Amino acid sequence: MASVISDAEYEAWLYSIGESRVLLLEMDHSDGTVYFGNLPFISKPSDSKSNIIFDDVLKDSINFESRVDEFLEIGDLEIINDSSLNYLIDYKWKGFEIRFYLGDPLWGFDDFRNIANGIGGGISTIKRGILIFDILDNTIFFDKFLQKNLLPSELPKPIAFGEPFNVKPALVDSSAIEYQINDGPVTSFTTRDNGAALTPDTSDLDKGLYTLSTMPVGAVSADIIEPNDTPKEIINYIADKFGKTANQTSLDALPTYKLGLFYDSFDVTGKTVLDDVAKSIYGFWKINLLDELTFGLLKEPEVVADFEITENDIAEGGIKSIEIDDPAQKVILNYKKNFNVLDRNSLAGIVAANPDLAEDFIKEWRQVEKENFEINLWASAPTLGTGWADNSDDSYTCDGTQVANSDLEITGKTTLNESYYTAIAVYNRSAGNVRVVVGDDTGAGSWINSDGIYYQTIPENTSDGRIRVQADSDFVGSVHLISFKEVSDYPESTIFIADSFISNSTDAQTECDRIALLKSVVRKTWEVECFLAPAQAEPGQTVKINHPRFGFENGKNALILSVSRSYTEQKVILEVWL
């Protein structure tokens, strides 16, 4: 029987509080499958799996914890055993699949949805009246080999995505000097011998094959251009290959960076590729409750929250701080992965003719970086060179927007909750004075009457965070104002290093700057125990927390990192980050 409950109706049911919910599971074993539930349930004769009895022997609700790093942990299964289930002890369970379904007790089985899958770890504990089963893993859907097609050598054919650099082609036929760079079409490629460009004798772009007229004397490599070059395109390829629907709304929100991935070993799975895409964009992936593959970015909480919780939604004593992270002093992003690192001594004339390319050949990664001690206080950085003029003939140049005839304001944070330093650079001065003013003429710095760079501290908890450059009527010259956080304020700050398969420096710097901004301030992680419907919270969403303590008095938006819940109860534990 086809499902009667539509996806929209099912989603609405998941968001409803107070519904009766049945959790069913199918547990495969060495001799077949057993069927259990938390409540009595029998599938209908018209269901695709008809007249199946699900024994109500689940002792307690099962806890499911999902995280932004795609990991889903499922708690142990406790089965009530009145000795009638002793026969289960003789079965082999380890490595067999467990499938979880959630629905209403009045529905047919075909209206239930498969909310999670796991791999059985076997019976871990046998005690009076109880059997406890371990669950080893749940990411089995994509944890299958990516490549089943083999070369004549019985090694897997290579698979390329986007713009991988300097890969090692697979030798298909030594007598024909035939190589393969992708098990599928490529747009174009360049092949080399010890870094020196070669001209292929023949090429078949549709099959990723080419031949050479003579056998190379050194290390053969290739740069590839393959059409699936953005995160969205690669994710859709993997979803299609493994028969899973990808949530296109989530993919449309991803950056369109050009990536370069290359795989030529047996141990590569669909999960491997999804993980590599996720780390390339500092993001995460998961399977949602509608069985869709979804992606997201680790980012600032949204300005408009997905939902809000108040003190009445939070359990008594249910909010606590669990981690505080200092800012990163610097962020380094590795990009343009070199898949076939060469020895400098083998590059011959390449070093002299093209030293940048030679450097690419001998290093595994290119790098971009962003210092985090220079942190703007404004929402969008002003443009250098915008200026103002008063009614006299004097002219001034500075960053920002004119406030009055002689004032220039940098607008941004209303309250500064951390101390900052300000640097004012004065140049081409020929007359007059300038100074830095914080707030409403309080905290004014000393007048400056010569070229140079001058520093001033902006105290912590300054209630009026406006920063202005003030000039007297005689000033003639130019001024540049920047503000930055003193690294020594955070002695535990470290250098954050991440790998990304982004293929070009422009995209890499954009992503590096984004990560650096995320890590430019103190980040706090909180645990919040609250009462919500099963689908009301998902990792990657933004929740607004209103609570009379801990700084949430006026409401704060936080990014949900993990959700731990029982689908048959209303209690949910959120791990949030702000």
Cα–Cα distance, 268 to 266 (Å, whole number): 6
Please report, as a single letter, which amino acid is at residue 145: F
The whole-number pLDDT of residue 415 equals 44
The pair phi, psi for residue 286, each rounded to 5°, is -160, 170
Amino acid at 429: R
Helix, strand, or coil (residue 357): helix
Quick one: pLDDT at residue 73? Answer: 63
Collapsed DSSP state (helix, strand, coil) of residue 492: coil
Query: Where do the structural domains in the chain lie, given as residue ranges?
Result: 7-137, 307-326+522-577, 387-484
Residue type for 496, please?
A: F
Could you tell me which residues are beta bridge partners of residue 527?
320, 575
* Amino acid found at 327: P
Structure tokens at 431: 């007359």
- Find the DSSP H helices in 377-470: none
Measuring CA to CA, which residue among 527, 525, 534 is closest to residue 565? 534
Per-residue tokens: 15: 């968001």
pLDDT at position 303 = 84
536: left (phi over 0), alpha (psi -120 to 50) or beta: alpha
pLDDT at 514: 92
Amino acid at residue number 338:
N
Q: Is 495 exposed, middle or buried (0-12, 13-18, 19+ CB in 10 A)?
A: exposed
Which of helix, strand or coil describes residue 36?
A: strand
Q: Measured between alpha carbons, how far is residue 316 from residues 530, 554, 575 in Å?
A: 9, 19, 17
Task: Please answer whether residues 459 and 443 qualify as being in contact, where contact means their C-beta atoms are separated by less than 8 angstroms.
Answer: yes
DSSP character string of 314-334:
EEEEEEEEEEEEPPPSEEEEE
> For residue 514, which phi and psi values (nearest 5 degrees)?
-65, -45
pLDDT digits (tens, 9 = 90+) for 482-520: 554 444 455 566 789 999 999 999 999 999 989 988 887
Do domains 307-326+522-577 and 387-484 share one topology? The answer is no
What type of residue is 381?
A
What span, in angstroms and rounded, lies between the C-alpha atoms of 35 and 52?
Answer: 8
Amino acid at 208: G
CB burial class (10 A; 0-12, 13-18, 19+) of residue 143?
Answer: middle
Closest CA to 250 of 287, 301, 303, 305: 287
| pLDDT score recorded for residue 116 | 78
What amino acid occupies position 220? Answer: V
Determine the straight-line distance between the first and last CA of the chain, rounded to whole angstroms.
Answer: 46
Instruction: Give the contacts of 227 (CB within 8 A, at least 6 positions apart).
Output: 185, 187, 233
Residues 6 or more apart whose Cβ sits within 8 Å of residue 207: 180, 184, 185
Q: How far is CA 14 from the centre of its chain?
A: 25
Q: Which fold has domain 307-326+522-577?
A: Ribosomal Protein L25; Chain P (2.40.240)
Could you list the pLDDT tens digit for every one of the 578 residues in the chain?
Answer: 556 888 888 878 877 777 888 989 999 999 999 999 989 999 999 999 999 999 999 876 666 666 655 555 677 788 898 888 999 999 999 888 888 898 999 999 999 988 777 778 888 888 888 988 887 655 567 888 999 999 999 999 999 999 999 999 999 999 999 999 999 999 999 999 999 899 999 999 999 999 999 999 999 999 999 999 999 999 999 999 998 899 999 999 999 999 999 999 999 999 999 999 999 999 988 877 666 888 989 888 888 898 899 998 888 888 988 888 878 878 999 999 999 999 888 886 776 678 888 889 999 999 999 876 543 333 223 332 333 322 222 223 333 333 333 344 443 334 444 455 566 666 667 777 777 766 655 556 678 888 776 666 666 555 555 556 676 667 676 666 555 444 445 556 678 999 999 999 999 999 998 998 888 778 889 999 888 776 678 888 899 999 988 888 889 999 988 888 776 666 788 988 88
Per CATH, is 387-484 categorized as 2.60.120? yes
